[in-house]
């Protein structure tokens, strides 16, 4: 599904990623961990081509995304759902309009079809009846679920989660994690979660990669990662406690 080859990204002289190679097969739930500023979120932006690589390439379904036309890029992004760290909802639009936005921008669906899709996705994230509410009227966890519904509205085959449980209380975090697990199982989608919350890694992922100083330094199952002998990984997992 996704093949990352020798991916390198610099911002000026600042090295963010260097010669990263990663193969993500269909249906995998991959967690990307690492300290703040290590390039995790930049990797997601590169996957969406919101950023351009300095070197290397990303293949999605054997297509080099750097070679896509504007029309091809829009189609590719339509197959990828992105859940942003802070929701990224439009404050001035109600929940229905927020979720309908990508369909109105990038499809020719009728209003009846859009309405059906919006309500279908809200039901998936267990938020029936909030269509007329505005983001400010919802809790942080509910806003996160609206963000997930919007990511799903185009029926993507790939779902990207950027820090989905950061800043949430423990109970709400479990609700979001359970939802991520349920959606991955029901939709059989390929999921990539960027997080530093170890509970989220252990509960959702089938494989973990750790990024440190622009490189992947560890890959394995959650159990293997938690028991890693690599001192950098051990320090990260333990939160710096020996």
Asked if residue 147 has pLDDT above 70, the reply is: yes
Tell me if 187 is assigned to some domain. yes
> If pLDDT is split at 50, 70 and 90, which confidence band does 166 have?
confident
List the CATH number of the domain containing 166. 3.40.50.300
Tell me if 151 is assigned to some domain. yes
pLDDT at 85: 74
pLDDT at 219: 96
pLDDT at 241: 52
Q: What percent of the chain has pLDDT over 70?
A: 98
pLDDT at 207: 97
Q: Give this prediction's pTM.
A: 0.91
Q: Give CA angle at 170 (169, 174), nearest 5°.
A: 115
Asked if residue 240 has pLDDT above 80, the reply is: no
How many CA atoms within 13 Å lie on the side-chain side of 155? 5
Asked if residue 178 has pLDDT above 90, the reply is: yes
Tell me if 167 is assigned to some domain. yes
Mean pLDDT value of segment 82-95 = 86
Q: What percent of the chain has pLDDT over 90?
A: 74
Instruction: Say if CB 131 and CB 53 are below 8 A apart.
Output: no
Packing angle, helices 95-106 and 140-152, rounded to 10: 20
Residue 170 has a CB neighbour count (10 Å cut-off) of: 9
Tell me if 21 is assigned to some domain. no
Tell me if 155 is assigned to some domain. yes
Q: Which residue range is the domain that position 115 belongs to?
A: 26-49+69-237
Tell me if 95 is assigned to some domain. yes
- Over residues 218-235, the pLDDT tens digits come to 999 999 999 999 999 999
90 Cβ contact partners less than 8 Å away, ≥ 6 residues apart? 97, 98, 101, 135
Asked if residue 18 has pLDDT above 70, the reply is: yes
Tell me if 15 is assigned to some domain. no
Asked if residue 115 has pLDDT above 90, the reply is: yes
* Cα–Cα distance, 51 to 132 (Å, whole number): 34
Tell me if 224 is assigned to some domain. yes
pLDDT at 78: 85
- How many domains, the chain? 1
> If pLDDT is split at 50, 70 and 90, which confidence band does 87 have?
low
> If pLDDT is split at 50, 70 and 90, which confidence band does 37 have?
confident
């Amino acid at each position: 599904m996704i093949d990352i080859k020798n991916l390198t990204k610099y911002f000026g002289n600042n090295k963010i990623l260097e010669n990263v190679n990663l193969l993500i097969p269909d249906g995998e739930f991959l967690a990307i961990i690492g300290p703040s500023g290590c390039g995790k979120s930049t990797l997601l932006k590169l996957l969406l081509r919101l950023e351009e690589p300095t070197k290397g390439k990303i293949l999605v379904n054997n297509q080099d995304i750097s070679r896509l036309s504007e029309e091809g890029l829009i189609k590719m992004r339509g197959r990828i759902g992105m859940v942003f760290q802070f929701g990224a909802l439009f404050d001035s639009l109600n929940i229905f309009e927020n979720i309908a936005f990508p369909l109105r921008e990038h499809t020719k669906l009728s209003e009846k079809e859009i309405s059906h899709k919006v309500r279908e996705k809200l039901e998936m994230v267990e938020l029936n009846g909030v269509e007329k509410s505005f983001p400010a009227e919802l809790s942080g966890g509910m806003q996160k679920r609206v963000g997930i519904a919007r990511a799903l509205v185009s029926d993507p085959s790939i779902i990207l989660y950027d820090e989905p449980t950061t800043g949430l209380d423990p109970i709400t975090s479990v609700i979001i994690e359970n939802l991520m697990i349920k959606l991955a199982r029901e939709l059989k989608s390929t999921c990539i979660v960027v997080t530093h919350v170890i509970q989220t890694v252990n509960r959702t992922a089938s494989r973990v990669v750790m990024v440190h100083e622009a490189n992947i330094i560890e890959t394995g199952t959650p159990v293997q990662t938690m028991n890693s002998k690599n001192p950098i990984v051990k320090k990260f997992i333990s939160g710096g406690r020996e």
